[in-house]
Amino acid sequence: MLRGCAGLLRSWALRGPKRGRSFSSEVLHVDHSLPNPSWNEDMRLLFDQFMKKSEDGSWKRLPSYKCNPPERIEDVKIFFPDAKLLKEQMSQAQQFPRSLGEGVGFEYAMFHNHVEDRTVCIFQGGPHLQGVPGFLHGGAIATMIDSALGMCAILTGGIAMTANLNINFRRPIPLCSVVVINCQLDRVEGRKLFVSCNIRSMDEKTLYSEATRGGPEGGGSAPCDVIISVDYQDWSQVLWHLKLAQFKKFKKKNANLCINMSFCLKRGKKPQHAAAAVIWKTRSLPSGLCRQFTRSASRLHP
């Protein structure tokens, strides 16, 4: 039954709710992850780039609607039988990031790559998302991160609720600018899904924030104490500097060690950057190895 629900939810995420169901308004069936007049040039450019990538089938655009589909409401009733889902409220309810008007709030579109198993969200924050004058509200950024990571988790693991959300803000994001949220699934531990993301500017040169999100809590310890993002010129450099073989030997002896390396390699005619995110529990590593990591990372990324 659970597998069936998960499958239902995944198909909903990819295809959207069936038409002709109980919602009264036509407006609620509109797919909002499509360009509209409020999108600026940068946003449209990014959207077109990703739509082009979808042509070969590896990337897929995820539709986004104002309301939860009936299937999802039924699924929630299964997991939360005590929930008082009042009929009145249900008819008025709207999915949070889509409840603001066109152009003034969250304008975003999500794309999923099933080959690399990662999700990308392009996001333009509107004028009603202000915090410090001229910049995006930290909570708006948190909402977007939660939505994007949530989608990433659902597509991989079925129904998921946020248990932990850990965000490091590096730079304030100017209002009405376009950013790219790159999400990926790091690992699965039983019922827990660990997903992480980073927010970068369009040209990927500015890092705005990094976040990790853990799935249902089961009394486990926090997964991340230290996060280092480094840009590597070549994967062979990564292997050499991180002494992967030594690390793997160490990992075999220590089953509880949480080490996760996720990387993206783009091959092409020009040398491409490979980005590697290394996450570890510092107290599980001997101090010598920690120092090695820090030295390698600082040499490559001063």
Partner 1 sequence: MIRRGFQAAVRLGQHRALFGGPQVLPRLNPTSAFGSSTDALVSRFCPEKTDLKDYALPNASWCPDMLDLYQEFLEKTKTDGWIKLPSFKSNRDHIQGLKLPSGLAVASDKSDWRIFTRCIQVEGQGYEYVIFFHPSEKKSICLFQPGPYLEGAPGFAHGGSLATMMDETFSKTAYLAGEGLFTVSLNIRFKNLIPVGSLAVLNVHVEKIEDQKLYMSCIAQSRDQQTVYAKCSGIFLQLQLEEESPQ
Scanning residues 79 to 108, which ones bind partner 1 (CB under 8 A)? 80, 83-86, 89-90, 92-97, 99-100, 104-105
Does 250 interact with partner 1 (rule: CB under 8 A)? no
**Strand ranges in 9-48 using DSSP code E only, listed in sequence order:** none
Least CB distance from residue 204 to partner 1, whole Å?
A: 17
C-alpha to C-alpha distance for 181 and 202, rounded to whole angstroms = 10
Q: Which two tokens stand for residue 119?
A: 């999700």
Does 17 interact with partner 1 (rule: CB under 8 A)? no
Residue found under tokens 């924050």 = 125
Scanning residues 156 to 175, which ones bind partner 1 (CB under 8 A)? 161-169, 171-172, 174-175
Does 262 interact with partner 1 (rule: CB under 8 A)? no
C-alpha to C-alpha distance for 37 and 236, rounded to whole angstroms = 45
Binding-site size for partner 1 (CB under 8 A) equals: 55
What's the number of CA atoms in the CB half-sphere (13 Å) around residue 181?
35
C-alpha to C-alpha distance for 233 and 242, rounded to whole angstroms = 14
Q: Could you tell me how far CA 294 lies from the centroid of its own chain?
A: 26
C-alpha to C-alpha distance for 269 and 118, rounded to whole angstroms = 24
Least CB distance from residue 87 to partner 1, whole Å?
A: 11
Does 207 interact with partner 1 (rule: CB under 8 A)? no
Least CB distance from residue 93 to partner 1, whole Å?
A: 4
Does 302 interact with partner 1 (rule: CB under 8 A)? no
Choosing from 117, 146, 186, 234, the catalytic residue is 146
Residue found under tokens 């850990």 = 166
CB of 277 closer than 8 Å to CB of 261: yes
Residue found under tokens 């292997």 = 239
Does 272 interact with partner 1 (rule: CB under 8 A)? no
Residues labelled as active-site residues: 146
Contact positions toward partner 1, by CB under 8 A? 68, 72-73, 76, 80, 83-86, 89-90, 92-97, 99-100, 104-105, 127-135, 137-140, 142-147, 150, 161-169, 171-172, 174-175, 217
